[in-house]
Structure 1
C-alpha cells in the first residue's frame, strides 16, 4: 500500500485508470462504445460520460461486436465493453470476424480484481479452476495485441501501445481490465500528447528498390490494369490509389470485398472482378492484361467466386499492408502506402499505356408491374434508388452477391463480410455504421444507411432493431423474404428442412421493438409495381427513423454469381483428397 501511495504522490496529474483509458478512446476518434453491462465492468462504465463517450447498450454481446465492426468501418476504429467470461465469449465470433477482415476494434473486458485472481477464488463467470487467463488466451489468437492492466506503473504505457497497434495493424485488441484497477491513479499528463497513429516509414533503400522494380514493369506494360481489394480500404491507402488512377488513367476494377473502394462514376472504373462470376468484358480485360497491379488483396473463396481467378503471378504486382510481391519476388516489411506514394510521384506518364475501361451499360428496365420481384431485376433497379453518399450494407447471401452488379453513385460506402461470412452480421453492423455517421456529421447531416438483409439472417440478430430505434438512427432496412437460407440451399440441400425457417410477420417487428408511427414505419412489397411505387414515394425517401420493408422474392431465385460460387464451394466440400 505504501509503495502505491509513493507512486501516486510522484504523479504530476494523477487520473483514474478508467478516465485515462476512455479519454484515449475519445482521442483516437471513438465517440460511442458498444457492449453490455456486467458486474465486473459497471464501475468503469460510470467514467464514459466524463470522457465524452456515449454508451450504446446492445441486446447481446455478439450483436455488440458486429455493431462495433460496422462502426469501425465508417469511423475508422470501434470499441466494445463486455464482462468477464460469459460476456466476452458471446462477443468472440464478432471479434474473430473483425480480425479476419482487418477491422480495428478495442475489446475491453471488465474482469475480477487482481486480488481475486491471485487468490484463485471460485467466482461466478469463471471455469471454477482458478485460471483467470483462460479467456484472454482464447482471444489472443483473434487479437493483434493483448494487455492485462494489472500494474498501475505500467498501465498508461500498455493502453497507449495497445491502441496504437489496433489502429495501425487494423485488427482487434484485447484489454483485460480488473475491477480494482478502475480507480487506481496513473499519469494524466500523458494525455496532453495524443498517441502517434502515423504509419512508420519503410526503410528508404528497400522502399526505393521496390518502387524502381514496380516502375520498370509498369512502364513496360502494354495492357496494365489495377485491381483494388478490401485491405486497401482497411489500411487507408485509397488516397494514394485514387491519385495513381488519376495520374495514369489506367482501368481500375474492384473485388467483391473492395466494392465502393473506387468512385464508380469515375471514367476509369470498370466494374467488379471475381473470376468466372465477372461480367464478360471485365473478365476479358483483367485476365487479358499483361500486368495486374493488385492492391490490398484478400483472395478468399467467396471473394474470388470459388478461387476462379485466371491471373499469372508472372504478370502480377501485389501490394499489401506489411509486404509487397513483384512477380515472384517478395519484399517483407515494405508497406504498400509508402510504395504507392513514391510510385505516383515518380512514374512517367509518357510511358504509361492506358486502355479505356469497359463501358457500363445499364440493363433496360421495362418491368411487368404485376410480376414478382426477382434478384436480377432488383439489383439492376436499386442503383436508381441509391443516392450519393449512401452507406450500403449487404448481408452474406443473396444480397452480398447481388450487389456486385449494382452501379453505385459517387461517395457511396459499401460494407460486406464476404470473408468471415457470419450470417446476422449485417444487422449489428448496420446499427454501428448508422451510429458512426451520426457521430461524424450529427443527426441532421448523417448519411443515409441502407441494409439489404435476408430473412434467415435477420432471425439471428433481429434484436438490434430495438437499438436502432432507441438511438433514433436513420436506416432503411430491406428484408429479402425468400423462405430461408438461399446460399446454403445452393451449396447443399435445396429442399432440406434444415435450410427452412419459420415465416415471421416481419413488418410487425418495429412495433414489437418499441417503434411508433413516428420513429419506425413498415412496408410490404410483393410485385415490381409495388416496388416502383415505394421507391418513388417521397415520404419513404425523406422521413427520418427506421423504414422497414418486407421484400418478397421467389424461394429458389438467386444471383448468378451466388450460384457459381456455391457450386464451387459444394465441389470443394465433396473433395476427398
Structure 2
C-alpha cells in the first residue's frame, strides 16, 4: 500500500528512473562503470531509460572512458559502488576536474539506516564514518548531491546535472540502496533542465566589449590564440565566426588542438613557446595584441612555461571573467562578449598567416632512412587523417608529436596535457570510440606508448565487447620515453617487459573481427596507410610501430628539460 506522500504525487516515479531519464535528456546514451552490490538495483533501471551499460574492467578505466566519452559527446555518466569503487575511480575524476570535463558520477551507497547506525559494513573503513569518501570527492566535484531524502531528490539531481554541464566539471551524486525505489514527482520530467549559462549583465558586457574593440582596432599585428576552455565551455561557434570575420592569423595551444578548423586559410599552427615551429613562434611573439580564448597555461601546455608573450599585449577570454591587459572584469562569460565583439568589429588590421602543412621537411624528403622517427611520422600521419576523425594521444611522445600534425576539418583531438595520468588514453579511447559510434561511426585513432598501454590494457576487452573499431597504434620504443628524458635514461625503472601487442586483443576474446600489424620501416607504414581495408576501420585493429628508443619530438625534449630543471 502506497504511503500518504506517494499518493499525493501526480506522476510517481522511482528516484533511479528519474535520474537516468534526466541523463538521457542531456544527451547521454551509454553509462560507464563497474557493478557492485550497492549499485546493482539501480543498474536494473538503465535499459528502460534508453541507456546502454558499457561494463568496464575496473573503475579507474571506467573513469578514463567516461572522460573520453564526454569529450566527444559533450557529457558522460559513471556509476561506481561505495568506497572501493569510487576510490578506484578518483584519479580519473580528478583528471576530469583538472581539465574541465563534465562527468556525472553516481555512487551506490549502503542503506540510509545502515549509515545512520554506523554499521561496520564491507567497503567501509570499519569506523562507522560514511562521509569520509564524499569528503575526498568534495575538492574535485563542482557539486555534491546527497540523495538521502525524497523531498529534495529531484531538485538535487537537476541542479547537479545543470552544474556539470555549465561548469564543465564532474559532479558527485550519492544513491543509497533504499533511495533507488523511493517515489518522487515525475511530472518534473516534462520540463527539461535549463542548461543555458546565466546571462551577463548587459551594461557590464557592453562596457567590456567596447574596451576589447578599442584595443583590437588600435592593434597593428593582432592574432588569435585558442585553448582548451574554448572547447570545454562551448564557444567554438563564436571562435569560428571570429576567425572568419576578422581574418586574423589563428593559432591553438596544445590543449586546444581541434578547437579551430585546421584546414582554414587563417590557421597558423600550434603555439607552445619555445616548443613551437619557428614561424609560429615568431608571428605570435611579435604580435602587439593576442586575443587569448580559454587559456590554460600549464607547464606541458606551454613547453615548460616558455611563452614569450606579455599580459600588456593580451586579452584573456574565460567562462567566468575577461581580462584586458591588466584590468580584470569578473562575472563575465566570454560567450556573450565574443558574439558582440564579432558583431561590432568592422574592419581591422590583419597580416598574412604563416603557412603550416603536413609537408615533410626537405631533409626528410631526401632521406633514405627507413627508421620511423617522430620528425617523419607526424606529418606523414597528418596526410593520412580523414575529416571528422577522433584522435587520442597518450601523455608522452604522441602527445607532443601531434603538435606537428595539421588536421583535416572536423577532427576531435583528445589528450590529457594538464593532468597527464599515464595510461589515460586507452580508457579514453574506449569512451571516445563509443561516442563516435553513436554519432555515426566516426573513425577513432589512438596513439599510445608501449609503457602506457601496460597500465590500462584491460580496456581492450570492453572495446571488443561493445563492437568498437578503433585503430590503435602502439609506439614500441622500450619503455617510458618521456620519463627517460626527464631523469634516469638508463635506469631500470624506465624499462618495461616486452609484450606481444598484436596478440593482446586475441587474448581478450577478439576473433574474426580483429587484425594486428607490425611495422618497423617507413615503407611498411606508408604501405599500411595506403591499404583501403585498413583505412576503412571495419573492426578493431592494432599496429605495433617500432621506433628508436632515443628518438622524441623536439617539443618533448624542451619540456622534459624544463621539468628536470624544476625538479632539481
TM-score, normalised to structure 1's length? 0.97
Q: 1:67–1:428: 8 Å Cα contact kept in structure 2?
A: yes
Among candidates 212, 215, 229, match of residue 214 of structure 1: 212
Q: 1:270–1:357: 8 Å Cα contact kept in structure 2?
A: yes
Shift of 1:368: 5.9
Shift of 1:348: 1.8
Shift of 1:393: 0.5
| Correspondence for 2:567 | 573
Shift of 1:532: 1.2
- Structure 2 unaligned residues grouped into runs of 5+: none
Shift of 1:440: 2.3
Separation (CA, whole Å) in 1 of partners of 2:497 and 2:368: 29
Say whether 1:536 aligns with 2:536. no
| Correspondence for 1:321 | 319
Say whether 1:494 aligns with 2:489. yes
Mapping 1:57-68, distance limit 5 Å? 57-68=55-66
Q: 1:387–1:409: 8 Å Cα contact kept in structure 2?
A: yes
Separation (CA, whole Å) in 2 of partners of 1:244 and 1:102: 23
| Correspondence for 2:272 | 274
Shift of 1:366: 3.7
Shifted more, 161-170 versus 359-368: the winner is: 359-368
Q: 2:471–2:537: 8 Å Cα contact kept in structure 1?
A: no
Among candidates 334, 342, 353, match of residue 332 of structure 2: 334
Shifted more, 543-552 versus 558-567: the winner is: 543-552
Separation (CA, whole Å) in 2 of partners of 1:380 and 1:335: 37
| Correspondence for 2:353 | 357
Q: Secondary structure at the match of 2:256?
A: coil
Mapping 1:147-226, distance limit 5 Å? 147-226=145-224
| Correspondence for 2:49 | 51
Say whether 1:375 aligns with 2:374. yes
Deviations 1:491-547 (A, max 9, x none): 00111111000001111101001001x311100001111111111112211241101
Separation (CA, whole Å) in 2 of partners of 1:54 and 1:550: 32
Say whether 1:240 aligns with 2:234. no
Q: Which runs of 4+ in 1 moved over 4 A?
A: 367-370
Q: Secondary structure at the match of 2:62?
A: helix
Aligned length: 565
Q: 1:370–1:529: 8 Å Cα contact kept in structure 2?
A: no
Deviations 1:462-496 (A, max 9, x none): 00001111111120000000000000000001111
Shift of 1:345: 1.0
Deviations 1:250-291 (A, max 9, x none): 110000000111111101000000000111111111000100
Q: 1:39–1:83: 8 Å Cα contact kept in structure 2?
A: yes
Separation (CA, whole Å) in 1 of partners of 2:228 and 2:247: 21
Measured on the aligned residues, the alpha-carbon RMSD in Å equals 1.1
Q: Secondary structure at the match of 2:13?
A: strand
Mapping 1:399-414, distance limit 5 Å? 399-414=398-413
- Structure 1 unaligned residues grouped into runs of 5+: none
Mapping 1:15-26, distance limit 5 Å? 15-26=13-24
| Correspondence for 1:422 | 421
Separation (CA, whole Å) in 2 of partners of 1:245 and 1:557: 36
Q: 1:251–1:268: 8 Å Cα contact kept in structure 2?
A: yes
Q: Secondary structure at the match of 1:294?
A: strand
| Correspondence for 2:431 | 432
Q: 2:360–2:376: 8 Å Cα contact kept in structure 1?
A: no
| Correspondence for 1:13 | 11
Deviations 1:339-396 (A, max 9, x none): 10111111122xx000111012522554767711111111121111111111010000
TM-score, normalised to structure 2's length? 0.98
